[in-house]
Amino acid sequence: MERVLDTAALLHWPPNRLAGGVCAHSQRQELERLSEARSMLIDAADLDWRSPTPAALEAAKTAAGASGDLARLSDVDVDVLALALSMQAVLVTDDYRLQNTFRHAGGTVEPVVNAASKHVWIWEQRCKGCGATSSLEPDVARSKQGSTGECRICGSPLEVKRRRG
């Protein structure tokens, strides 16, 4: 089965283990930013560089929105997710948000260095002021950190939290 490799695999695995893996073109820029030396080494690896189709990107955003992970995924994460979903490939990542979304969509995950996540979660917005909760809207502000908006009740910042069970 084909494997889509997240940037963590590109950073940590030896080039021979990466051989035949599929990566998003957007990962090249991320890799150069994180490690220029590693980026040059990866150029010699036998990787299949692809760009996700607009339909695959929309499917990835829908899947990430359904699990509540979209607010905390980067554009590169969405590209990687889109490739894995469209190819029905194994997703190789240590990113728990990517793992969560891909598992919600019925995919198989392989960890890079860390152990795979043990649970699948649903995320919600929670007000830091009054504690009101709401589901994450598909168009919620995307950011790795910080507020996802303002509470409609009290105006305090909203943060992303796991749904209480």
The domain ranges of the chain are 3-110, 123-162
Going by C-alpha positions, the residue among 142, 146, 29 that lies closest to residue 78 is: 142
What pLDDT is attached to residue 44?
82
In degrees, to the nearest 5, what angle opens at C-alpha 51 toward C-alphas 45 and 56?
Answer: 130
pTM of the model: 0.79
For residues 74 and 123, the model is more confident at 74
3.90.1280.10, 3.90.1300.10, 3.40.50.10320, 3.40.50.1010: which CATH number matches 3-110?
A: 3.40.50.1010
Count of Cβ atoms closer than 10 Å to residue 91 Cβ: 25
Pairing verdict, β 157-162 and 123-127: antiparallel
What pLDDT is attached to residue 47?
95
- E strands along 3-142, which residues? 3-5, 22-24, 48-50, 90-92, 109-110, 123-127, 133-135
What pLDDT is attached to residue 165?
41
- Model confidence pLDDT, tens digit, residues 98-107: 999 999 999 9
Instruction: Choose the weakest-confidence range: 53-62, 82-91, 150-159.
Output: 150-159
Confidence category of residue 143, pLDDT binned at 50, 70, 90? low
Average pLDDT over residues 52-76: 92
